[in-house]
Chains A and B, each alone.
Chain A
Amino acid sequence: MKRRNLLVGLGAGLVAGCSKVGQSEPMQTLFDWSERLHNGAHRALGRKALAREYAPEDISPFFRGNGTIEPDGGAYAAHAAAGFADWRLAVGGLVRRELALSLDQLMVLPQRTQITRHDCVEGWSAIGQWTGPQLSTVLQMADLQPEARYIVFRCADRLNGAEYYESIDLEDAFHPQTIIAHRLNGEPLPVRNGAPLRMRIERQLGYKHAKYLTGIEAVASLEGIGRGEGGYWEDRGYQWYAGI
């Protein structure tokens, strides 16, 4: 019993120390530095590396929905009722040609189908088959301006009252497996998985894969968007680079 108390005491001491130190300026700097180190190391190991693609028999029988599983508000419900016929994907920001693409327009672009593993930051994984045009195709149509450094994804859903959004760098934006998916396992995307459009960014964790996609915006900096950290979860303490 005594030893257990000692252990609890030591644990609590370390926990209290770490909780305090963790919020300090130098520790935050170290955490940021480690995030950049991961990003740099992964780029150095395989800039063009592809995530593993699986066989049809590996597909998870049910693909779990996480975060928002049904966006609030009448507008989304009306779109869903109409089969998303009037849904438009706005492409703007630092581009030479702004676009507003319908689902039909996205579906006539060259398509990529991939069976990949989705890894949630919480720890679980699911395998699904995704189909859609590559983001690079759409970005080439819009013709990025040279100052563009990040691609921001705008979404129709809100979590805890704030708009969901995400962002990636151009390295991932032009990666061949980065697609704007409109199908899961051969069927139109279910609402829980992001209907009618969601991103697939296969070398990063699930929270990067923005669902209910309404807009794609090329920007030079992430400042001034949301709380400036590059995404809904990033604004709440999660790392922007989610390759690990």
Chain B
Amino acid sequence: MKRHRLSTRIWHWVNALSLVILFMSGLNISNAHRRLYWGEAGFEAADAWLHVARFPGWATIPGHYSLSAARDWHLLFAWVFTLGLLLYIASALLNGHLRRDILTSRKEWRWAAIRADFAAHLRLDFQHAGGKYNFFQKLSYALVIFLMLPLMVLTGLALSPAMDASWPWLLDLFGGRQSARSIHFIVAWGLVVFLVVHVVLVLLSGPIRQLRDMTVGGSADEAA
């Protein structure tokens, strides 16, 4: 039994690449109109709730301001990201990965257990018996996979005038197109926070082994 299934490993890296390209091309798109609004409409400075900084070329795809090229990248990798996420969630439901490794049990929610897990994190001890992932790990993976990533897909779809015609509930769900655009922006930065914490924790918990296992699989026993 491998530590990470083939489907998990393929999705992990395809998704990582897609998210980086989507984020960096998204920063280029953000440079086209650097204000965020709530509700359906908005274009004036006075209506904005946030004035966004101009993102520098080294952080954007492509490396110079080009809304058309950035949209090409963003809209192509939106397909890779969305289809990958759908396939991954479907396979995680079917093969038991979700139930076995991601869903938390009632006893993990006891205050003493949460405190113990938190204390273990402070000692940089991430190896927990009885399950592949620890409590906070399960919570953050569930938050990303079942809330943040689907929110990126749905708020992205709500920006499309053709999708809004076919699926008007998208506008009702987010309270309007400009609200969806704001949420798209906020959750994107939330994913950056996840990425930073994720990478730091990998670095603290044996990065060579972690990278090897997420690429070639690793062994389940070694991980426990």
**A125-B177, A239-B72 known; A203 vs B67 contact (CB < 8 Å):** no
- Chain B residues whose C-beta falls within 8 Å of the C-beta of A204 in the assembled complex: 161-162
- Chain B residues whose C-beta falls within 8 Å of the C-beta of A60 in the assembled complex: 41, 43
Bound-state CA distance A30–B69 (Å) is: 13
Contact of B68 among A42, A202, A237 (CB under 8 A): A237
**Inter-chain contact A202/B165, CB cutoff 8 Å:** yes
* Distance in Å: Cβ of B58 to nearest Cβ of chain A: 5
**Inter-chain contact B61/A119, CB cutoff 8 Å:** no
For the residues of B in contact with A, the DSSP-based class is helix
**A15-B58, A15-B61, A22-B73 known; A120 vs B161 contact (CB < 8 Å):** no
Asked whether B152 is an interface residue with its Cβ less than 8 Å from the other chain, the reply is: no
Bound-state CA distance A8–B56 (Å) is: 10
Asked whether A104 is an interface residue with its Cβ less than 8 Å from the other chain, the reply is: no
1/0 per residue, CB under 8 A from B, across A34-75: the answer is 110110001001100111101000101010100000000000
Asked whether A85 is an interface residue with its Cβ less than 8 Å from the other chain, the reply is: no
Bound-state CA distance A203–B164 (Å) is: 8
List which B154-172 residues lie within 8 A (CB) of chain A: 159-168, 171
**Inter-chain contact B160/A244, CB cutoff 8 Å:** yes
- Contacts between chains A and B (CB distance < 8 A), count: 142
**Inter-chain contact A119/B177, CB cutoff 8 Å:** yes
- Chain B residues whose C-beta falls within 8 Å of the C-beta of A220 in the assembled complex: none
- Residue among B40, B68, B164, B165 facing the most chain A CB atoms (10 A cut-off): B165
**A11-B58, A58-B40, A126-B43 known; A239 vs B71 contact (CB < 8 Å):** yes
- Chain A residues whose C-beta falls within 8 Å of the C-beta of B20 in the assembled complex: 14
* Distance in Å: Cβ of A169 to nearest Cβ of chain B: 13
Contact of B63 among A15, A45, A51 (CB under 8 A): A15
**Inter-chain contact B166/A45, CB cutoff 8 Å:** yes
Asked whether B66 is an interface residue with its Cβ less than 8 Å from the other chain, the reply is: yes
Q: Which residue of A lies closest to B36 (CB)?
A: A123
Asked whether A243 is an interface residue with its Cβ less than 8 Å from the other chain, the reply is: yes
- Chain B residues whose C-beta falls within 8 Å of the C-beta of A15 in the assembled complex: 24, 57-63
**A22-B62, A31-B72 known; A124 vs B33 contact (CB < 8 Å):** yes
Bound-state CA distance A8–B165 (Å) is: 40
- Chain B residues whose C-beta falls within 8 Å of the C-beta of A89 in the assembled complex: none
28 A-B pairs within 8 Å (CB atoms) are namely A14-B61, A15-B57, A15-B62, A15-B63, A16-B63, A22-B62, A31-B72, A38-B162, A42-B162, A45-B166, A45-B167, A49-B165, A58-B41, A119-B177, A120-B43, A121-B32, A121-B71, A123-B29, A123-B33, A123-B181, A124-B42, A124-B178, A125-B177, A202-B161, A204-B161, A239-B71, A239-B75, A244-B75
- Point out residues on B near A: beta carbons under 8 Å: 20-21, 24, 29-30, 32-33, 35, 37, 40-44, 57-64, 66-69, 71-73, 75-76, 79, 159-168, 171, 177-178, 181
Q: Give me 5 other A-B pairs in contact (C-beta within 8 A), A38-B160, A45-B167, A124-B178 excluded.
A: A12-B58, A22-B69, A52-B168, A123-B32, A123-B33
